[in-house]
Amino acid sequence: MPIRMGFCSSHAPSLFFNTYEGWERMHHRLNDGHPQPPETELENEEEVARRMPKIRQAFATLKEELTKFRPDVIVAVIGDQREMFDGSNIPNIGVYTGGDTWTVHNTGLMDEDPMPSPYDEKFRYPVKVDQDLAKKILNGLVKEGFDAAIIEQMDAQSQPDRGVPHGWGNPAIHILPDMGIPMVLVLVNVDDGPPAILNGKRCLELGRAIARICEDSPKRIAIYGSGGMSHDPRGPRSGWVDEPLDHWFLEQLENGTAQNLEAMFSFRSENFVGGTGELRCWTVVAGAVDEVKPGHKATTVDYIPARKVTTGSGWAYWPPIEDPSPVAAG
């Protein structure tokens, strides 16, 4: 069964606080003294109190849609920001083929003062893995011309005590209708340090390839893109959200014009560096959905330019693609 549903969301730790104090702590932790845009001052306690339930509702909506879809497995496309890999080896694409593993979620981390360790046992939870589908995708990608790295152990070079990177750990407990749903982890390098990094065209091709590989699977598959939208945590643009870019990107999903995303990362721009590179994951998902049903239109759940916590935050999903009706015998 081909991939039948796609969804994407931001995953910044700042989205999982429950207090204004936590929001402020993250703001001061991330801006590193960089000048902030004037709109930042609008994010006062009243405005943050208005946004928090909107954030929770956005994740709840994705969870509701997944619950209705009833996936057998989720292919999670997440960005690696030197969590899984370090400077000794940075592949552009990797597929985890090992067994069940674990991650941490960090929900409420900044609500506590002093802040506990992000690796504290209370944040840890298990991750079920579909090894058969993972190996199928890995082998298929090689046949499709993608030199994907093989990840057999969840033993990160950069952060060995972290488990699955935060791109899955932070949002999964808020969107999965059942924590027992297995996943396949596809890692995409989003670190803009190396000059050789995937552009939008290649990300679309990667998504299309994953869709073709999954076409004959008997399982009901959803694909998830994690990260973004525009942001540069702790960088010189910390606090600056590129709303025009974010809205343009969402419009391409809503209009079913995935091919326009080829323009993403096709040239060097300071607006594409930092966490904005995680939009590669969304682009992969857009390519996968468009391969199954060209022109399929996504629904934007919400968008919040959360400057104090340095993230243009978005949530979107593509309604399930149903099996075509059988042709009546004539």
Which helix (DSSP H) or strand (DSSP E) does residue 317 occupy?
strand 311-318
Contacts 24+ apart (CB under 8 A), 169-172: 169/103, 169/104, 169/105, 169/106, 170/11, 170/12, 170/13, 170/15, 170/16, 170/105, 170/106, 170/107, 171/9, 171/11, 171/59, 171/226, 172/76, 172/103, 172/105, 172/127
> Quick check: 253 and 301 in contact, CB under 8 A?
no
Please tell me the predicted confidence (pLDDT) of residue 75: 98
Q: Who contacts 224 (Cβ-Cβ below 8 Å, separation ≥6)?
A: 6, 7, 8, 9, 74, 75, 76, 77, 175, 285
Amino acid at 260: N
| pLDDT values of the chain reduced to their tens digit, one per residue, 330 residues | 689 999 999 987 767 878 888 888 878 777 777 888 888 888 899 998 999 899 999 999 999 999 999 999 999 999 887 777 776 778 889 999 999 998 887 777 777 777 777 777 788 888 999 999 999 999 999 999 999 999 998 875 556 667 888 889 889 989 988 878 999 999 999 877 656 789 999 999 999 999 999 999 999 999 999 998 998 877 777 888 999 999 999 999 999 999 999 999 888 777 777 788 899 999 999 999 999 999 999 999 999 998 887 889 999 999 999 875 443 333
3 state DSSP class of 125: strand
Please tell me the predicted confidence (pLDDT) of residue 108: 74
**CA-CA distance, 293 to 208, in Å (whole number)?**
11
**CA-CA distance, 105 to 243, in Å (whole number)?**
27
Q: Who contacts 176 (Cβ-Cβ below 8 Å, separation ≥6)?
A: 63, 66, 74
* Exposure b/e, 145-184, CB count within 10 A at least 16 = b: ebebbebeebebeeeeebbbbbbbbbbbbbbbbeeebbbb
Q: Model pTM?
A: 0.92
Domains and CATH numbers, the chain: 3-15+31-101+128-306 (3.40.830.10)
Which among 211, 227, 124, 100 has a CA at the least distance from the CA of 171? 227
Which helix (DSSP H) or strand (DSSP E) does residue 247 occupy?
helix 243-255
